[in-house]
């Protein structure tokens, strides 16, 4: 049954303009479920209110729509950018959503330093210098940097390390660096090595070889035979790399090739990265879009969301023609300051690369389907082990991490039938009262989480796992009993006596003996995965909180002691240790410190007799 509209359709449609803009579809909970752009708002939005719809997705979406918001823009390009930003912000269920929104890694060469280094870079490109990439993975960057270091002996050490050397490091000994840190190479000679590395990254291999030949002959003429031998070895290695190169470098351009495969339920877009005519890797993406199976629409949404959020190469080759080709070409060209071409009809090398991308997309889809089948099998096995009436759809697991009670953090991770649901992960910075007490910490985290579950703010899991044995399980049941949620299925996961994977024991409420599953049990593998993920997520949060705490002065945690009073205390006593060593009377003599505040400071700094 369709939701009731909160606006008058006829009046709304009459009010629409023929100008370009963006529209948002909202459901009964006022949540955005779709964002679209239009060259003509009146024509496009009106089409959604026809009695019949050309796709299952549109029909299903309009059943849920209760309101529509419209934003007029000056141009269609402005509408494109606004649509991109709104999709990224709201993540509507009926739009193409990219799960992997990480930035891609680059190789960065700084131009500020007299002896530039080659380094891994991810994130905003603010530094002055050259950036090469993007690369499909961290591994691809590390492999390239390793090859560059062998070839050109350019440093990769951090500036702080470089500036404090008094003798060459191990990299010099193993012939991976020319030791510019201790002036074993001149700035001019080092600059030539850096220029050669840059030309290599630009794909100008023959130019680099020619330069090395000239430098080898010059070194030989000057009777610097050791240096000449080094250039000879570099030339040999460069020619080996040329021989290993499987993809033609005829074009020497930067291209992205997008292959597509789908089984209607899962869609895979594979991006092949061609840089300077050479294939440097690929990455699979699985865009989420509810009820859509039209290849053109999926690719159109993917390309928009993908390339408006990152740098685009000179050419983008697609598996099929998309609706917004000209608009995207214009917008990307303006953003990049150079011409960007989007093509789908190609021949020669590009056609072969496109076929390779399609093959990789099909392989990626098959692997994803197999992975999903494995997860479903694990969920079914878990239902059998726990004697559940139905296969669970949502699992939650809690863990606690701290160092001797310091910076205690609890984690909650969530798995569904597709695997880890990272958008629902949560961390809890626990109160000092729970410090060092794993039971109390677990109880606090569960109480905070399941109070929200009780209010309906968070979905109810089918199974709740707590990392630990009978004690943690008892704490969990006490909290759930208080919240009248004791009907939830709760499992305590304890490591065996040997504390080895495969020896875990599962404790259930009301059962004295633990369940120990075979090491190859699909259910056990799922439990291990969610438990390990909770452990990882808790440790990461704990380390971050501990690092932040240790960088913070203890004085900052004392109520009533503001920045001015803290500065005065430190100035009067020469630092924190002086403040700790002062008595109440001494503290009260400092300007702005009352007797009661002095007592608070003293008591806080001498809590439990520890300084």
**pLDDT (tens digit, 9 = 90+) per residue, 307-324?**
887 788 889 999 899 988
Token pair belonging to 319: 């598996």
Contact between 163 and 155 (Cβ < 8 Å) = no
Identify any residues that bridge with 131 across adjacent strands, giving them in sequence order: 108
- What is the percentage of the chain residues whose pLDDT exceeds 70? 92
How confident is the model at residue 550, as a pLDDT?
59
Confidence class for position 610, pLDDT limits 50, 70, 90: very low
Confidence of residue 463 (pLDDT cuts 50, 70, 90): very high
Q: State residue 429 phi and psi, 5-degree precision.
A: -80, 110
* pLDDT over 60 (residue 245): no
User: Are the CB atoms for 427 and 565 separated by under 8 Å?
Assistant: no
- The confidence score (pLDDT) of residue 247 equals 44
pLDDT at 502 over 80: no
> CATH topology for 394-549?
Nucleotidyltransferase; domain 5 (3.30.420)
Residue 368 backbone zone (phi > 0: left; psi -120 to 50: alpha; other: beta): alpha
Query: CA angle, corner 88, sides to 82 and 90, nearest 5?
Result: 95
Q: What is the mean pLDDT of residues 417-433?
A: 85
Q: How high is the pLDDT of residue 446?
A: 92
pLDDT tier at 611, thresholds 50, 70, 90 = very low
35 phi/psi in degrees, rounded to 5: -125, 130
pLDDT at residue 609 is higher than 50? no
Buried/exposed 147-179: b ≥16 CB within 10 Å, e otherwise:
ebbebbbbbbeeeeebeeeeeebebbeeebbbb
Fold held by 255-366: Nucleotidyltransferase; domain 5 (3.30.420)
What does the domain layout of the chain look like in residue ranges?
Answer: 9-90, 111-244, 255-366, 394-549, 554-609
337: left (phi over 0), alpha (psi -120 to 50) or beta: left
Position 25 scores a pLDDT of: 92
pLDDT at 375 over 70: yes
pLDDT digits 0-9 by tens, 508-527: 998 888 888 887 788 888 99
**Average pLDDT along the chain:** 83
- Grouping H, G, I as helix, E, B as strand and the rest as coil, residue 401 is strand
Which residues, in sequence order, are CB contacts of 302 under 8 Å at separation 6+?
A: 96, 98, 258, 269, 285, 287
pLDDT tens for each residue of 377-408: 899 999 998 988 888 999 999 999 887 777 78
pLDDT tens digits for 190-202? 888 888 888 888 7
406-to-401, 537, 573 alpha-carbon distances in Å: 9, 17, 27
Q: Which CATH superfamily, name and number, covers 554-609?
A: 5' to 3' exonuclease, C-terminal subdomain (1.10.150.20)
pLDDT number for residue 246: 42
**What pLDDT does residue 33 have?**
92
pLDDT of 248 > 50? The answer is no
Whether 185 shows a pLDDT value over 90: the answer reads: no
pLDDT digits (tens, 9 = 90+) for 175-184: 888 888 988 8
Return the CATH number of the domain spanning residue range 9-90. Answer: 3.40.1440.10
* CA atoms 375, 377, 378, 383: torsion sign: positive
Q: Residue 574: its pLDDT value, please?
A: 74
| Full-model pTM | 0.60
Q: What angle do CA 250, 252, 255 make, to 5 degrees?
A: 115
User: How many other C-beta atoms lie within 10 A of the C-beta of residue 102?
Assistant: 8
Q: How confident is the model at residue 249 (pLDDT cuts 50, 70, 90)?
A: very low
> 331: exposed, middle or buried (C-beta count within 10 Å: 0-12, 13-18, 19+)?
buried
Q: Per-residue pLDDT averaged across 479-487, rounded?
A: 89
> Fold identical between 255-366 and 394-549?
yes
């Amino acid at each position: 049954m369709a939701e009731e509209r909160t606006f008058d359709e006829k009046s709304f449609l009459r009010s629409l303009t023929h100008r370009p803009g963006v529209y948002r579809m909202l459901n009964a909970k006022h949540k955005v479920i779709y964002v679209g752009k239009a060259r003509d708002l009146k024509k496009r939005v009106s089409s959604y209110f026809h009695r019949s719809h050309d796709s299952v997705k549109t029909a299903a979406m309009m059943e849920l729509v209760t309101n529509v918001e419209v934003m007029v823009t000056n141009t269609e390009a402005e509408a494109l950018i606004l649509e991109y930003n709104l999709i990224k912000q709201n993540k509507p269920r009926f739009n193409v959503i990219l799960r992997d929104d990480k930035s891609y890694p680059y190789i960065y060469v700084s131009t500020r330093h007299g002896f530039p280094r080659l380094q891994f870079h991810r994130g905003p490109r603010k530094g002055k210098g050259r950036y090469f990439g993007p690369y499909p993975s961290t591994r691809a960057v590390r492999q390239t940097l390793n090859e560059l270091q062998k070839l050109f002996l350019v440093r990769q050490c951090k500036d702080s390390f470089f500036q404090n050397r008094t003798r060459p490091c191990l990299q010099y000994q193993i012939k991976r660096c020319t030791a510019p840190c201790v002036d074993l190479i001149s700035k001019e000679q080092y600059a030539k090595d850096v220029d050669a590395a840059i030309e290599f990254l630009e794909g100008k291999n023959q130019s680099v070889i020619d330069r090395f030949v000239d430098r080898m002959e010059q070194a030989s003429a000057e009777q610097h035979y050791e240096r000449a031998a080094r250039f000879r070895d570099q030339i040999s290695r460069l020619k080996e790399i040329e021989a290993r190169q499987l993809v033609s470098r005829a074009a020497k351009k930067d291209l992205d090739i997008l292959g597509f495969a789908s089984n209607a339920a899962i869609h895979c877009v594979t991006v092949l990265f061609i840089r300077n005519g050479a294939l440097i890797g690929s990455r699979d993406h699985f865009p989420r879009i509810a009820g859509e199976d039209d290849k053109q629409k999926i690719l159109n949404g993917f390309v928009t969301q993908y390339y408006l959020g990152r740098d685009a190469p000179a050419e983008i080759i697609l598996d099929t023609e998309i609706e917004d080709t000209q608009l995207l070409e214009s917008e990307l060209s303006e953003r990049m300051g150079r011409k960007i071409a989007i093509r789908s009809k190609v021949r020669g090398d590009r056609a072969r690369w496109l076929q390779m991308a399609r093959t990789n997309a099909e392989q990626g889809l098959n692997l994803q389907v197999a992975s999903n089948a494995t997860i479903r099998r694990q969920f079914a096995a878990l239902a059998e082990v726990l004697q559940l009436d139905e296969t669970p759809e949502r699992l939650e697991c809690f863990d606690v991490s701290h160092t001797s009670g310091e910076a205690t953090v609890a984690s909650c991770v969530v798995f569904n039938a597709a695997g880890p649901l990272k958008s629902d992960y949560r961390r809890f910075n626990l109160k000092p009262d729970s410090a060092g007490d794993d039971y109390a910490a677990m109880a606090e985290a569960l109480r905070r989480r399941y109070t929200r579950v009780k209010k309906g703010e968070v979905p109810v899991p089918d199974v709740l796992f707590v990392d630990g044995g009978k004690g943690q399980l008892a704490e969990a049941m006490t909290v759930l009993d208080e919240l009248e949620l004791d009907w939830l299925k709760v499992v305590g996961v304890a490591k065996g006596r040997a504390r080895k994977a495969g020896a875990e024991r599962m404790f259930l409420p009301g059962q004295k003996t633990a369940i120990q599953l075979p090491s190859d049990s699909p259910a056990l593998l799922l439990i291990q995965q969610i438990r390990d993920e909770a452990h990882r997520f808790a440790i990461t949060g704990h380390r971050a909180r501990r690092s932040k705490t240790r960088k913070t002065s203890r004085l900052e945690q004392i109520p009533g002691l503001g920045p001015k009073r803290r500065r005065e205390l430190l100035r009067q006593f020469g630092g924190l240790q002086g403040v700790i060593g002062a008595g109440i009377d001494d503290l009260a003599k400092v300007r702005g410190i009352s007797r009661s505040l002095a007592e608070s400071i003293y008591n806080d700094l001498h809590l439990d007799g520890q300084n």
